[in-house]
Structure 1
Amino acid sequence: MNTPPALFHSPSDHSRIDPHVPSFASHSTLSPYSILQHGTSPGLRASSAPLHERGKADLFRYYVTNIGPAFDAYDPNKYFTERVPSRATLSPPLLELILAVSAWHSNATKGEPQGSAKLDIDIEQLASAGMDDDSLDVALLLHYFVLNMDGKIILESVTSNPTVAQCNHSRNEVTGLLSRSLDASHDDVLWARLRQELFLAVLHQIPLTMDVSRSRLDHLTRDRDDRTRANKMLIELLATVQYCFGDDKNTATYDRLLESCSTWMTTNPSSFTPVMICRRQERDVFPDIWLLNDCVAAGLQYFHLARILLIVHNPRVPRLGRAGQEAARWIDAQTKNDVEIICGIANSISEINPMHITACMAISVVGDRFTDADQQHALLDMLVKTTSAYGLSTELA
């Protein structure tokens, strides 16, 4: 196994100063401290800031701390948390959309009505306003976020106190822009959309409604890091969902999915080995499962969720007689164990994090198999806190 690169440079290599090499400090007319002593502070001009109202600034911060991380999930690129807010400060249409979604999301997580105030956003106007393609991809993702989570589609007008948002167009009103192909999307937007569609498909137990070319996915998963490994399992899970909730019930397809998922698990690198697995107390429902990073956590959760679906939808399982009863008991034991693992992974990271979204998906599939009161309470708590944190509807779970 290769030795990881050192975190600190060796002093023997870098701390020696060659007296014959002129230093920057010796030739500089100003030391860093002389700027403080003699220079004039450039100051901060309020007119240069993109936001001048505290209410809007609070909504912008709300996006950075609450919505962006949910879209990024396990992705270390932090595209939605860092790059999108930076781009929004230079793009008024994108900034207004972020404020609208933040207002809607804030109300949703608090259980408050969306109210009568609206934000003046028209998804078609974003393109005509000169928004670049990457920003437009983000706008479409945010647009569908509200559409999918609230069952509606577009945010319309703004008031001087933008604390609430309202959607009022039906899902059926889809234009050419809204049906824009995902193959043309920014990479990070594509992965976020796939995760979003996965959540909806599993919660509603319906096939996926989006199509991404296999060549694009193969191109995006050609690296060998943990993030790519997790995304490969995401692709396998999406294919599993399509089989389980779609029309293709070919046993050959099932066998191929089963083999692909098994191969993914058995060929994982050492980084996917848990650091620790234990139960804190005897009556704890979920185990402590400590993993190296969020990418590993997501990948393993996706594997166990795919395993749940493949077990439940196994076309060869006997359904009648004693064999059917034994199979039902085996399915219950296996799927409940997988749910406990998925929930344990999420809880071991922190009290609430994007991995709890995957946990809610698992609960929605086989949560009704848990009959113990402590288990049921723990699962319900998982659903409630995830809904409260992310504004996602888990009523079907």
Structure 2
Amino acid sequence: MPSPEQTELLATPCVTCREHHLKCDRSVPRCGRCVRAGRECKLGFKFKPTKDSFSRGQRWLRPPRKLVYIDETQSLTTGSPLEDTSQYEIHVDETYNGELESNSSSVTPPAIAGLRERNPGNESVGITQPRNQPKVHGLFPSNGVSTSLLNSHRAFPEAKPTESYDVSSLPTGNNIRMSAPRNAPLSSFHAVSSLPLKNRTEALLFRHYIQKLAICLDLCDPSRHFELVVPERAAVSHTLLNAIFAIAARHLSHTTNFDPLASNRYHDECLKHLIPMLDHASTVSDENLFAATIILRMLEEMDVPTTGQDNYSHLLGIHAFVNAGDQYMGRGSLSAASFWVGLRQEIYIAVITQQPVKVSLDHYIVDRSFEAADDYTWSNRAIILIADVLNFCFGDGNFTSGRWNALDEACKKWSATRPSSFNPFFYRERTGSSAFPEVWHGSSCHVIGIQHHILAQLFLTQFDPSIPKVGTNRRTAMKKMTERIENLVRELCGIGICNQWTPPSMFTACMGIAMFGDQFGERSDQDALIDMLQRTEAEHARPTAAIQQQLKKAWGWVPENE
């Protein structure tokens, strides 16, 4: 904001800031925000209302019979241009007499077909709209409303039941009537989608995200926010919708012959609106943008074979949302669901790069206890445990025997006190022709919980401070360590192979292969590990080529200098 001493200001906010939906400080000759962003500062115009009154003989223009109402609510909220206004038509009867009635109420446009009675912004989308509605950013009111109301599965109130259909409240009269889109079929199905889809291809991408990709994000979420809530929010969030299109297009281009450039177009459109929003401190309270950033990070992981490297660009955005504070992360909210997905994405990077987890773990939704709880909570406890283990192994100045013993004891206690539902419903030891055992689970939260617990045991085994550095006992200790690591990796891969209906089971297994696959000396085991890496990349669009090359060098399959 400009200082109180600054007296010379622009008459109105500049056009550039208004176009980007940003607050202008109105500094002259260029506002501070445009200077910092390196944009052209376009000056606006100041209009003053006239105090003149109209004479009784003033003649008024007759409006056309058909008016088109343009609802800019979505455009102002998401920054997306309106694409089709054909369904917002208001017809004016010819009996209009050309006179204005001072006590007549304004006409509110019809609701968008297919949308629920209330949108995620807590604003009514019905025939009438209450005035003096509090302004909101995303889902968080700026008037101090408690965020506890946002912690339910849908974050907006349910419709009140009625005993009968009441049509008495609908507007009536001879002058104005509202019509449905022309040529609409007489059917119980809506002809107009609640989503701003341009064509059948976008509908295909939207369906592909729901059916194939959301499961990769909702592993430990009983409410399945990314499958059920995110698609609903995409109807009013331009950025979220384009993120869905981008990741679906990228996944299809990696696994089928879909257009490889389509994802780039949606990604660029998404960033066009997301990047300016990051200038706002209030952006970190918008859980729709948080979810979009999570989806874009998943896209970034898929893009490694295309770009040749992982820039971790969207990880920084995830850190910003996570570090915003607990007030935006209520239990059961989309923000909380996004936090757990972002933490798993951060763990993947920490494992591959052998670095500590950088996202903050100091939130009240983080539970490190061993008290009775639902299975999803137990899975998240295992995820927090591997994050703590990685911080111990790769952190600075925290590597002590006491700390290792505490983490090892936590691993043992998690295994001893977890619910019996985490046991597989079918298990068969590996045979001579199979490198991995058969391990069948029925829930994705069981799969991901057990696999992350195995990862924690693997790193603690590798970094066991009790193994002698030198001496006659070192050889025996190292042999036992290698045997334990091999058994744990086999279990990890067996879970992945037998539960491919949840693709992250394969991703997590590949993390273990990347870190500990070099300790397998038998060629049959090595072939099985490489085959698993190749299947993961071919069928699930997860990059593993670099891991394959590193293992082949470690096993002596290719020269070190290649």
* TM-score interval for Structure 1 and Structure 2 normalised by the shorter chain: 0.7 to 0.9
> 1:76-131: per-residue Cα shift (whole Å, max 9, x none)?
32211222112112322321221122223333445999549533222234579998
Separation of aligned partners in 1, 2:482 and 2:395: 23
Q: Cα offset for 1:178?
A: 6.8
The structure 1 residue matched to 2:376, chosen from 209, 227, 231, is 227
The structure 1 residue matched to 2:352, chosen from 195, 198, 203, is 203
Separation of aligned partners in 1, 2:361 and 2:344: 13
Q: Which segment drifts farther, 386-395 or 353-362?
A: 386-395
Q: Which segment drifts farther, 213-222 or 167-176?
A: 167-176
Amino acid at match of 1:228: T
Amino acid at match of 2:382: M
Separation of aligned partners in 2, 1:316 and 1:219: 25
Q: Cα offset for 1:325?
A: 1.2
Q: Which segment drifts farther, 384-393 or 374-383?
A: 384-393
CA contact (8 A) 1:332 1:369 kept: yes
The structure 1 residue matched to 2:238, chosen from 92, 97, 101, is 92
Q: Cα offset for 1:214?
A: 4.5
Consecutive unaligned residues of structure 1, counting only runs of 5 or more, are 1-26, 28-39, 153-164
Check 1:175–1:307 CA distance in 2 against 1; reply closer, same or farther (3 A cut). Answer: closer
**How does 1:114-125 map onto structure 2 within 5 Å?**
114-115=260-261, 118-119=265-266, 120-122=269-271, 123-125=274-276
Separation of aligned partners in 2, 1:114 and 1:307: 40
Amino acid at match of 1:230: S
For residue 289 of structure 2, what is the aligned residue in structure 1?
Answer: 136
CA contact (8 A) 1:108 1:391 kept: yes
CA contact (8 A) 1:124 1:177 kept: no
For residue 15 of structure 1, what is the aligned residue in structure 2?
Answer: none
2:217 counterpart SS class: helix
Separation of aligned partners in 2, 1:352 and 1:270: 21
Q: Cα offset for 1:285?
A: 1.1
Separation of aligned partners in 2, 1:219 and 1:260: 9
1:215 counterpart SS class: coil
For residue 55 of structure 1, what is the aligned residue in structure 2?
Answer: 201
2:401 is the alignment partner of 1:251: yes
1:289 counterpart SS class: strand
Separation of aligned partners in 2, 1:66 and 1:75: 16
2:523 is the alignment partner of 1:373: yes
Q: Cα offset for 1:148?
A: 4.7
Q: Which segment drifts farther, 85-94 or 359-368?
A: 85-94
The structure 2 residue matched to 1:285, chosen from 435, 438, 443, is 435
Q: Cα offset for 1:240?
A: 0.5
For residue 339 of structure 2, what is the aligned residue in structure 1?
Answer: 190
2:265 counterpart SS class: coil
Separation of aligned partners in 1, 2:230 and 2:193: 22
Amino acid at match of 1:203: I
Q: Cα offset for 1:375?
A: 1.3
2:212 is the alignment partner of 1:66: yes
> 1:280-319: per-residue Cα shift (whole Å, max 9, x none)?
6431111112335332222221221111100101122113
Q: Cα offset for 1:180?
A: 3.0
Q: Cα offset for 1:232?
A: 0.6
Question: Structure 1 or 2: larger helix share?
Answer: 1
Amino acid at match of 1:141: I
> 1:5-60: per-residue Cα shift (whole Å, max 9, x none)?
xxxxxxxxxxxxxxxxxxxxxx9xxxxxxxxxxxx634532475521312222221
2:385 is the alignment partner of 1:239: no
CA contact (8 A) 1:93 1:126 kept: no
Separation of aligned partners in 1, 2:314 and 2:241: 24
1:232 counterpart SS class: helix
Check 1:189–1:223 CA distance in 2 against 1; reply closer, same or farther (3 A cut). Answer: farther
Amino acid at match of 2:506: H
Amino acid at match of 2:215: P
Q: Report 1 or 2 for greater relative contact order, CA contacts < 8 Å, sequence distance ≥ 6.
A: 1
Separation of aligned partners in 2, 1:106 and 1:230: 30
Amino acid at match of 2:227: T
2:498 counterpart SS class: helix
2:299 is the alignment partner of 1:146: yes
Amino acid at match of 1:80: F
Separation of aligned partners in 1, 2:310 and 2:516: 34
Check 1:221–1:63 CA distance in 2 against 1; reply closer, same or farther (3 A cut). Answer: farther
Amino acid at match of 2:236: L
The structure 2 residue matched to 1:274, chosen from 424, 430, 435, is 424
For residue 320 of structure 2, what is the aligned residue in structure 1?
Answer: 179
2:399 counterpart SS class: coil
For residue 484 of structure 2, what is the aligned residue in structure 1?
Answer: 334
Separation of aligned partners in 2, 1:295 and 1:223: 16
For residue 105 of structure 1, what is the aligned residue in structure 2?
Answer: 251
Consecutive unaligned residues of structure 2, counting only runs of 5 or more, are 1-163, 165-185, 330-334, 548-562
**How does 1:285-364 map onto structure 2 within 5 Å?**
285-350=435-500, 353-364=503-514
Separation of aligned partners in 1, 2:322 and 2:535: 34
**How does 1:28-43 map onto structure 2 within 5 Å?**
41-43=187-189
CA contact (8 A) 2:492 2:509 kept: yes
